[in-house]
Structure 1
Amino acid sequence: MSKTAEPAAQRALPGRKAQAARNDELILAAARDVFLAEPKAPISAVAERAGVGISALYRRYPGKEDLLRTLCYSGLRRYNAEAEAALENTDGWAALVDFLQRVVDADVHSLAVHLAGTFTADESILPDVMRSAELNDELLRRARESGTLRPDVTVADLGLILEACAAVSLPDPERTTQLRRRVLALLTDGLAATGDLPGPPPAAGEFAHRWQRRDQ
């Protein structure tokens, strides 16, 4: 979809509601960028990045915690959507690999890694949490039945794999994606010794930027 294209449901909304929907998309995208970079950033930084007035932001999200909660909840729903899409593949092993690749490319797990503990969860997320557990169990069940997955792998192991991939972060988004896919391929080989490693290996000094002080 191009940057100027709009979802069909959004185009069908009347003027003010369509604008509100566009603002909400801008706000959530900006919040993701801002809070992944600095979880303690003020909510005004989100409004500035989104290009919306602070009053428009507060009309939708009364406080920072409400915004963080919505952002993380949307991440879980994206996680579930990727799992459901992967499960359309009848090959249990291929479905599991496809799921991991989808979630890593969507960078869903960074939200959990960076924002966990920054807001109070409420009961509205419980149905999505339960759905996530069901999907994870089904992915592993099918992968085991395929005969490829190690029998001792658990759902928690999938979380470790996704967290390891999310930990790879460089200033260049494209290079970040390349290396996350490489790490995922290495870790997937630990689940079953198959597959080729995508992308080139890390270059010398490629991670040196992390040692630079942020206040300079």
Structure 2
Amino acid sequence: MSKPLPTRQAKATRKDQVILDAAREVFLADPKAPITAVAQRAGVGISALYRRYASKEDLLRTLCHEGLRRFLAEAEAAASEPDGWEAFTGFLRRIVDADVHSLTVHLAGTFTPTPQMHDDMARTEPLVRKLFARAKSSGRLRHDAVVDDITLVLEGCAAVRVPDSVRTKQLRRRYLAILLSGLSAGAVELPGPAPKSHELNWRWTSGQAE
């Protein structure tokens, strides 16, 4: 029996994802790349791209909001894990595998976030703080770690990149394991003051796509 033909909506959804996947590849390699490079990578005409995204900034904003939604979904899913340490470390592993923070490192400041993005960011904060608190309560997270350390741990893993995507994933998992070892109770005392939220959020306050 033959499969039913995909609906027009299904085709449009698939094309949208092809464009976003292409945009991710193009802009992570070069945030200043023109939007025409995305159309070429996606194999679509520039008019088809502009029908979906009015500007490069609109495309960047959509791309980063997708990453934010993935982060939020993983944080919500981790809340159901009964073991506090496993919830915390499993969440970090999934976020590293999803490569969410490459978008933060490369694209923050290139567009103006929408109110919905600010709302979603606000929803993530209490979830992550709760995950962190549960990990601390388990006794397995070092006493001098702070919740803002998580952002820099994830950005550090996102900075690990080699031409081979499979090898990149393997190396990121390796270095997350090293960093988690450093976050475990009993590790050597951390030097210097802990990061503050205002030191990490400045990138999202301004900037426009070129």
| Offset from partner CA, 1:165-201 (integer Å, 9 cap, x none) | 011100011111111111101110111169xxxxxxx
- Determine whether 1:131 maps to 2:128: no
Question: Counterpart in 2 of 1:153?
Answer: 145
Dislocated runs of 4+, deviation >4 Å: none
Deviation at 1:80, TM superposition (A): 1.1
Question: Counterpart in 2 of 1:167?
Answer: 159
Deviation at 1:88, TM superposition (A): 2.0
Cα separation, 1, equivalents of 2:131 and 2:41: 38
State the TM-score, normalized to the length of structure 1: 0.80
Bigger CA drift: 134-143 or 65-74?
A: 134-143
1:53 to 41, 45, 48: 45
Deviation at 1:19, TM superposition (A): 2.0
Cα separation, 2, equivalents of 1:26 and 1:144: 41
Deviation at 1:137, TM superposition (A): 0.7
Task: Answer yes or no: is the 8 Å Cα contact 2:79–2:131 preserved in 1.
Answer: yes
Question: Counterpart in 2 of 1:97?
Answer: 89
Over aligned residue pairs, what C-alpha RMSD do you find? 1.9
In structure 2, stretches of 5+ residues that fail to align are 187-210
- Determine whether 1:83 maps to 2:75: yes
Deviation at 1:17, TM superposition (A): 2.1
Task: Answer yes or no: is the 8 Å Cα contact 2:141–2:185 preserved in 1.
Answer: no
Question: Counterpart in 2 of 1:144?
Answer: 136
Question: Counterpart in 2 of 1:39?
Answer: 31
Task: Answer yes or no: is the 8 Å Cα contact 2:74–2:91 preserved in 1.
Answer: yes
More RCO (CA 8 Å, sep 6+): 2
State the TM-score, normalized to the length of structure 2: 0.83
Question: Counterpart in 2 of 1:3?
Answer: none
Deviation at 1:35, TM superposition (A): 0.4
Count of residues in correspondence between the two structures: 184
| Offset from partner CA, 1:124-154 (integer Å, 9 cap, x none) | 2122111110111111111111111122222
Question: Counterpart in 2 of 1:27?
Answer: 19
Q: SS at the partner of 1:186?
A: helix
The 5 A counterparts of 1:171-182 are 171-182=163-174
Which residue identity lines up with residue 129 of structure 1 in the other structure?
M
| Offset from partner CA, 1:93-116 (integer Å, 9 cap, x none) | 011100110000110100000001
Question: Counterpart in 2 of 1:107?
Answer: 99
Which residue identity lines up with residue 26 of structure 1 in the other structure?
V
Q: SS at the partner of 2:148?
A: helix
- Determine whether 1:74 maps to 2:66: yes
